[in-house]
Amino acid sequence: MLAALLAATLVFSEADAARAYATAEGLVAGHTPRDAGTAEGFAAATYLMDRASAAGGDVRRDRFTAATPRGTKGFTNLECAVVASDERPWVVYLSHYDTKAGVDCPGANDGASTSGLLVALTGVLARHRRDLPFNVLLVWTDGEECFGRYAPNDGFWGARRAAARLVASGRTVKAVIGLDMLGDRDLQIILPHNATPRLRQAVLAAAKTAGVADKVAATGDCVKDDHQEFLRAGFPAVELIDFDYGSRPGLNDYWHTPQDTMDKISAESLLVAGRLALAVLGELR
């Protein structure tokens, strides 16, 4: 019932997908590279903040410092709360916006695509604030990418920070939904195994409601990404990612390379991802 009701009101349109794509395009064109802890990264955050504010979001910067293998660095997360009512539980959407240092990667798909998607989602959610069954927090994380190997002081800095802030807030959280690499023209979304089982089921149900079931599959594989830090902090979390990104299946040769450019992603894929992301709201109990 809730799913059908929401499907009728919370529509992610082709214009929303075009906004997601255009935002990713502007991020890549104007802010590449945008490695964690750099001035370019801070400028990238400002660009996204301006776009999400223009979409109707109430966006705040969260600047913080953290230890890294290259010394202490400054990071910038963005948070946008869309509040339906004070009593409602929260749903959190995540996208990182930083690029991988040292590999000359524009991150059109890896970072920019879902950061543009969050801006477009901000617009839809802000327009339908009063119809929402949950309060929604959108978080653009800095420092998802590690310098070397993922470790407690390397990678996921923004997610660790955002998860700690969420714990401190005392908010009731229904779901944390990680979004990454969902702009791929050849989109095949997987739900990695390292997730809360009921949320994987909710996403599969949402895929049917949204009419994109052929694009989504659960997998037994684990994927390290920002959502992991929320699981670690005790929140229910799930990850939507297309981790096969290359010139041929299995090759992954566009990932973390100079090949990760705008021509490899499409507004059509972002339309699928946006519809799926919103439909999940109708499947949470």
Q: Is 239 among the residues that bind Zn ion (CB under 5 A)?
A: no
What's the DSSP call for residue 100?
Answer: P
Nearer to Zn ion, 76 or 109 (CB): 109
Please identify the residue of the shown chain whose CB is closest to the bound Zn ion: 110
Window contacting Zn ion (CB under 5 A); options: 25-33, 51-59, 109-117, 229-237: 109-117
Q: Of the two residues 35 and 110, which places its CB atom closer to Zn ion in the complex? A: 110
Nearest approach, Cβ of residue 268 and Zn ion (Å): 22
* # residues near Zn ion by CB under 5 A: 1
Q: How many residues does the chain have?
A: 285
| 158, 113 contact by CB (below 8 A) | no
CB neighbour list of residue 265: distance below 8 Å, 6 or more residues apart: 21, 24, 108, 109, 113, 183, 184, 185
Q: Which stretch binds Zn ion (CB under 5 A): 4-12, 73-81, 104-112, 229-237?
A: 104-112
97-135 in b/e form (b: 16+ CB < 10 A) is: bbbbbeeebbbbbbbbbbbbbbbbbbbbbbbbeeebbbb
The smaller minimum CB distance to Zn ion, of residues 92 and 108, is found at 108
Q: Give the nearer residue to Zn ion in terms of CB position, either 59 or 159.
A: 159
Q: Which is nearer to Zn ion, 57 or 143 (CB)?
A: 143
* DSSP 8-state secondary structure symbol assigned to residue 224: -
Task: Say how far apart CA 207 and CA 217 lie, in whole Å.
Answer: 9
Give me the residues paired with residue 246 across strands: none
Segment interacting with Zn ion, rule: CB under 5 A, options 53-61, 105-113, 159-167, 196-204: 105-113
- The residue within the footprint of Zn ion, chosen from 110, 225, 226, 260 (CB under 5 A), is 110
* Integer Cα distance of 12 and 125 in angstroms: 10
Stretch 53-92 residues interacting with Zn ion (CB under 5 A): none
Question: Smallest distance, Å, CB 182 to Zn ion?
Answer: 13
Q: Which residues bind Zn ion (CB under 5 A)?
A: 110
